[in-house]
Amino acid sequence: MSKNLKIVEHPLVQYKLSQMRSKDTPSADFRRLLREISLLLAYEVTRDLPLAEAEIETPMARAMLPVLKDLEPCFISILRAGNGILEGMLDLLPSARAGHVGLYRDHETLEAIEYYFKVPEDMTGRLTIVCDPMLATGHTAVAAIQRLKDAGAQHIKFVCLLAAPEGVKTLIEAHPDVPIFTAALDQKLNEKGYIVPGLGDAGDRIYGTK
């Protein structure tokens, strides 16, 4: 669909995603599966982190060994469902910075409305990875990324579990410099703006709410 779109086709990602899609999967299993998938997605989105060499003393000798060249990434969760991905990402990089953007979708206009914004101050020199399980209309992702750019983020990637073609198109048109990583590109949005076949409302399924 676009060079900006990367679909992570690892067999374990696809298998776990199918389990999450089932309406019979309880919240506890849904949360666990999301955390496991998120760790696997984190491997892909951080694959091109630049490395440098530093002298490290092992139990046997000193050696020049690979270390991260730049500051560790900053993970940004789009509340509330993004926290499910954030936890898995932090399992891989526990010392990374984390921030939160609170946005909700107006059910009439489908536009994103901000209610919370708290991010690290030093994002300029860090890879910023924005997390949200669903890329549906794309309005929430577009708004969140713009706020992060305004706050100093320069190198941004977007990670989601599922994407709709409409959302991918909207995000790429608004932010062509932001690559999208997802486990699946689904068929379409329905008349209410939900991804089909999708998996329902990710936030409700994570936290057992309606």
Kindly list the catalytic residues. Answer: 105, 109, 201, 204
> How far apart are alpha carbons 70 and 200 in whole angstroms?
38
Estimate to the nearest angstrom the gap between the alpha carbon of 111 and the chain centroid: 20
Cβ atoms 24, 204 nearer than 8 A: no
User: Distances in Å between the alpha carbon of 130 and those of 11, 183, 210?
Assistant: 23, 15, 25
Answer for the pair 64, 55: CB distance below 8 angstroms, yes or no: yes
CB atoms within 10 A of CB 92: 17
